Amino acid sequence: MLVLGIETSCDETGIALYESRDKRLLAHALHSQVAMHEAYGGVVPELASRDHLQRVLPLLEEVMREAQREKAALDVIAYTRGPGLAGALLVGTGIAFGLAFALGRPLIGIHHLEGHLLSPLLSEDPPPFPFVALLVSGGHTQLMHVAGVGHYALLGETLDDAAGEAFDKTAKLLGLGYPGGPALAQLAESGQPSGLALPRPMLHSGNLDFSFSGLKTAVLTQVRNADPKILSDQVRANIAAAFQEAIVEVLVAKSFAALQQTGLKRLVVAGGVGANRRLRQALIERGRTRGVRTYFPELQWCTDNGAMIALAGALRIEAGIERPEPATGFSIQPRWDLAAVGQADPAVRSEMPSEP
Ligand code: KG4
Ligand code: ZN
């Protein structure tokens, strides 16, 4: 089955071609809008939609050329149906339906987070099911129990800011550009985290939920208190390092508590913050002492891309969870609960053990 994947939920246009028969990604292409949004300090939804519109078809041609396939050979078109920016989603969805209609092929609408969740399966050494997934993106922070394709149970999630959002907002406070996560992580490399006492929100909350907005406020206080008026590079680097340590410590502790609660020994990290080096290192180190193996998608699959959407489409169809639909009228789901696409196992959510 030859599956085309189209991702346009936020600020990256991603197109990919996946052959499910031999589990192979034939080609993929990506355009990041980061440079365009940088001037505004964040994603401007209308600009995002317009840019997707200009990029999707040229990227599609590029992917077909690279894979040396004709569009007529496509079996299914998978597209991101939500969650995301409504206008941006409409572009990918509209093009997916147009193509499907013209080619007489069916479509499958994919939940963006399911794409992230399954993206580690694109690697050469994919994690076997079941596993615990730590989903850390710009919009979401969730711990999920993943029993198989389409079998997801939410173990815990953020009550306010997502981890990536906290990175981005804190980076802004430190005068770094957009997106702030990678810039903050880089600044943190030259900083000393130990001098600053930042909170570890909800570390001992007794459940697997997160909260990161207080951490951002604590950084704001540090920035305000800093003297002289203009923060020295070293002070900024120290704040960045302390912030990163705080957020990493909470993510690691809750991930291992989730593993203990479920009795699983495999952890999968997905989403943009999964690219963070310090987080990767801390998870691997803790895993070594607990007999846990941590799987990371390759860096190129950590952030948004079309490959994870094509893969999720192929896996959902193969698993018999969903049949692709013919191209008739379409809708998008800018707000969409991931639990709605899986079959939650009610036995999974129980109380967190007191000693993570
Ligand atoms: O998964 P993603 O590409 O998009 C969403 O679906 O949200 O995640 C983007 C988020 C942004 O908040 C970005 O700042 C963060 O991931 N991010 C990082 C790093 N690379 C990307 N955060 C911390 N450290 C990084 N190295
Ligand atoms: Zn994403």
pLDDT band of 42, cuts 50, 70, 90: confident
* pLDDT at 355 (0 to 100): 46
- According to DSSP, the residues that pair with 16 across neighbouring strands are 5, 28
Task: Give ion ligand 2 contacts, CB < 5 A.
Answer: 137, 304
CATH number at residue 270: 3.30.420.40
**Same domain as 290, residue 190:** yes
State the pTM of this model: 0.89
**CA–CA separation, 60 and 29 (whole Å):** 8
Residue nearest to atom 10 of ligand 1 (CA): 138
**Same domain as 268, residue 133:** yes
* pLDDT at 195 (0 to 100): 81
What does the pLDDT look like over 46-62, one tens digit per residue? 999 999 999 999 999 99
**Same domain as 155, residue 114:** no
Residue 334 domain flag? yes
pLDDT band of 345, cuts 50, 70, 90: low
With a 6 Å cutoff on the Cβ, whether 276 touches ligand 1 is: yes
Sheet with 24-32: strands ordered across = 24-32, 12-19, 2-7, 76-82, 107-111
**CA–CA separation, 275 and 288 (whole Å):** 20
**CA–CA separation, 324 and 164 (whole Å):** 32
With a 6 Å cutoff on the Cβ, whether 92 touches ligand 1 is: no
φ/ψ (deg, to 5) at 237: -65, -40
Are 33 and 346 contacting, i.e. CB atoms less than 8 angstroms apart?
Answer: no
- Ligand closest to Cα of 7 equals 2
Stretch (H or E) spanning 298: none
**Same domain as 148, residue 73:** no
With a 6 Å cutoff on the Cβ, whether 274 touches ligand 1 is: no
Residue nearest to atom 3 of ligand 1 (CA): 303
**Same domain as 135, residue 277:** yes
**CA–CA separation, 326 and 76 (whole Å):** 10
**Same domain as 143, residue 279:** yes
What does the pLDDT look like over 19-37, one tens digit per residue? 999 999 999 999 999 999 9
Number of domains into which the chain is organized? 2
Indicate which atom in ligand 1 lies nearest the CA of residue 279: 24
Residue 348 domain flag? no
